[in-house]
A and B are shown apart, each in its own frame.
Chain A
Amino acid sequence: MFSLEGITTATQDWLLIKFNPTIALAIECVIVILLSITLFAFLGLVLVLMERKVAARIQIRLGPNRVGPGGIFQTAADTLKLIMKEGLIPDNADKFLFNLAPFVVMMVAMLLLAPIAFAKNFQIWDINIGVLYISAISSLSVIGILMAGWASNNKYSLLGAMRSGAQIVSYELSAGFAVLTIVVLTGSLQISEIVAAQENGWWLFKGHIPVIIAFVLYIIAVTAETNRAPFDLAEAESELTAGFHTEYSGMKFALFFLAEYINIFIVCAIGATLFLGGWMPLHIGHWESFNHIMDYIPSSIWFMGKTFFLIFLIMWFRWTFPRLRVDQLLNLEWKYLLPISLFNLLLVTVIAIMGWHF
């Protein structure tokens, strides 16, 4: 069947024939860079429109449906508008940090694209510490947010940035523990091995109770990490401030906006990889015929389907729940989620040692 792996192998073979290995490598790097930037932009477009349509349907209205058939060019129109806006820099703002902050956030999002396995053998960089790399790099986004809040010279932005920073740092712990659950079960940090281990069934079904708990914790933690409702106090529109990106306008604001949606995509992709099998089709144990049928659907479709299902779940949360107050938010993490995740880790270790999983 159609597979992206075929395209990559064919391209690589053709390049090796034409050029010597070093130049072929360099050309491949350039291709990968261009592809990831394109993916970025495309994903941003699709996700923003998806958010608006999902929001509209939940709120019994239609959403954008004028620009293009069914409104598919709406985000392109919005991006065009944002590019043409004046990029104001406030008076006493720290110019260097102010300009740097959106790029830091974007860089973090792009770096995280590397270890994700989009399809079978279609990964930019399969390092042996894949999961650790992801946890480490995602922590760097706090720096960008704090930079933005500080450099704006606006006490409301600083307030929002501090709240956001505290929130992200706290919820990283729970997310990390949830991810560790899967690492314990697999025995490896490498993404390709984790996906391969799910060949006879996704971890969500094989690992039963502790993995289900870990999945729920993971979803809550990443909703908080990406500053989405109900944890979006830092950018709450109807409270005092508009958060750390108050003073940004024009293209820089577009970068923040885009980076937020890419972050959602990335954390959902990681969730799909760890808990739902990544690009692995739905296999049930050793039912050969069923597995064979499932294999007909290309792995990239499986991956995208799972990721977008998780993205839809996160968007659903935003339009259903009211916002948590900041002390309730931190309360939730430190008093409830963290003890539960610690206990869960213990439980999954026992289960892994005893072999009580499928």
Chain B
Amino acid sequence: MYNQTEVIKDTTELGPEGELVINMGPQHPATHGVLHLVVTLNGETIKKIEPHLGYIHRSIEKMCESLTYRQFIYVTSRMDYLSSHINNTACALLVEKGMQIEVPERAQYIRVILNELTRIASHELWLGAMAMDLGAFTPFFYAFREREMITDIMEDTCGARLTMNYIVPGGVMYDIHPEFQTKVKAFIKQFKEKVTEYEDLVTNNIIFQSRTKGVGVLSREDAISFGCTGPVARASGVSCDIRKIAPYDVYNKVEFDEVIETAGDSFARYMVRIKEMNQSIRIIEQLIDSIPEGEFVGKTKNVLKLPKGEFYQRVETARGEFGVYIVSEGGTTPHRIKFRSPGFSNLSALSHMAEGSKIGDLMATMGTLDLVIPDIDR
């Protein structure tokens, strides 16, 4: 598309030494999706980063204005495809809130267990991809070994491995299959054995630590001002876990810690996600043995109509706070729907974080931000 040295927009003043403007992406081996960064370099130091978005813009918000309240839930799986259950839960919760639908306890338990499994799967993929960015090719395969077990569980439950259309307003679409509990318990057992491998291979590796400590520092005030949520903000000391602030489903009944680090650098973000995986295991362990019997979906009408008004639902995905905002005129389709995606705000902090650092640091910073571009472009 662009020539390698062409200045894309005349917003950079070429310094006396002649600064270099290079394109990273949209196709890039450190693949996070189709992200196009225009980086202005002075030697090896970064002066400015400008993200060019829109390569995977599918006008989801406009499209949802013609989808009914049962249909629009599943486009959110295609937005942040690594947290598909969690995104679907947000939409389902919003419709239930708007129409005052009662969700049976069994469905709530199943939803929370699937959400936490999705969170672990997302963090596993992030771990593999980030280690690969930094040059360590092996953790990718180890992480995917665990992720395969989760995707197998998902395939048995919902029939799909990535975009799971399983959650409906009122509960879940079908009941869980009989092997669900045994498989999840087998997974927990394997995960606990293998998580020490990540410690040895990546966390305690001195090269990895020197590549991530002190790199891409985001202070607490900046994190709040840029609207960062999720592990990015929690690594800078901001307590923003929606599961604690505004609990939904059965999150108020389980015990788990909100993982907060204060350093604000890439290593802190890394540690937050690793510890979050352990906390998710803790949540699943508390719930897996006590799934109550009962219905798996509440009673709903066939055609759903939200009453006139505005509704907002926030959930905690693997990347941060995901929000669904619906303005309804009383019909079967929303008048305006807005998805507040966590990656959008996290990306706006990238330029601030990476200014003044080297190109190698940019890789580490971007890796720990955990961006999924379809989530940003919608």
A325 touches B361 (CB 8 A): yes
A52 CB to closest chain B CB (Å) equals 12
Partner of A323, one of B29, B134, B145: B134
B201 to nearest A CB, angstroms? 7
How would residues 127 to 144 of chain B score, 1 for a CB under 8 Å from any chain A CB and 0 otherwise?
Answer: 000011111111011100
Beta-carbon contact of A322 and B136 below 8 Å: yes
A-chain residues with CB within 8 Å of residue B100 when the two chains form the complex? none
A325 to B45, CA, bound (A): 13
Residues in chain B near residue A240, CB distance under 8 A: 22, 24, 359
Q: Does A326 contact B (CB under 8 A)?
A: yes
Q: Is the CB of B208 within 8 A of A322?
A: yes
Q: How far is the CA of A240 from the CA of B30 in the complex (A)?
A: 9
Instruction: Judge if A20 is at the interface, Cβ distance under 8 Å.
Output: no
Q: Which residues of A contact B335 (CB under 8 A)?
A: none
Q: Give Cα distance in the complex from A230 to B207, angstroms.
A: 9
In the complex, whether B220 has a CB less than 8 A from a CB of chain A is no
Question: Size of chain A's interface in residues, with CB distance under 8 A?
Answer: 25
Q: Does the CB pair B145–A60 fall under 8 Å?
A: yes
Bound Cα distance A53, B125 (Å): 24
Determine whether the beta carbon of B145 is less than 8 Å from that of A230: no
B135 pairs with A319, CB closer than 8 A: no
Verify if A229 is at the interface (C-beta below 8 Å from B).
yes
Query: What CA separation (Å) do A325 and B134 show in the bound complex?
Result: 9
Residue of A nearest to B39 (CB): A240
A288 at the interface (CB under 8 A from B): no
Residues of B near A233 (CB, < 8 A) are: 360
| CB contact under 8 A between A238 and B360, given known A320-B136, A321-B207, A328-B210 | no
0/1 per residue, A267-306, Cβ < 8 Å to B? 0000000000000000000000000000000000000000
B4 within 8 A of A: yes
| A324/B207 in contact, CB under 8 A | yes
B352 within 8 A of A: no
Q: Mark B197-226, 1 if CB is under 8 A from A, else 0.
A: 000011001011011000000000000000
CB distance from B146 to the nearest CB of A (A): 12
Q: In the complex, A230 Cα to B138 Cα: how many Å?
A: 13
Chain B: CB-nearest residue to A163: B44
The residues of A that contact B207 with a CB separation of less than 8 Å are 230, 321-324
Indicate the member of A232, A319, A321, A324 with the most B CB atoms within 10 Å: A321
Q: Smallest CB–CB gap between A80 and chain B, Å?
A: 26
Whether a CB of chain A sits under 8 angstroms from the CB of B363 is yes
**Inter-subunit contact B363/A61 (CB<8 Å):** no
Assembled-state Cα–Cα distance A323/B131 (Å): 10
In the assembled complex, which residues on chain B have CB atoms less than 8 Å from the CB atom of A229?
135
Closest Cβ neighbor of B5 among chain A residues? A155
Chain A residues with CB under 8 Å of chain B are 55, 58-61, 155, 229-230, 232-233, 236-240, 319-328
Name 12 A/B residue pairs within 8 A (Cβ), A-sorted.
Answer: A60-B141, A60-B142, A60-B145, A229-B135, A230-B135, A239-B363, A322-B136, A322-B211, A323-B136, A325-B358, A326-B44, A327-B358
Beyond A59-B138, A322-B136, list 16 extra A-B contacts (CB 8 Å).
A59-B137, A155-B5, A233-B360, A237-B29, A238-B30, A238-B132, A238-B133, A239-B359, A240-B22, A319-B137, A320-B138, A321-B135, A321-B205, A322-B135, A323-B134, A324-B211
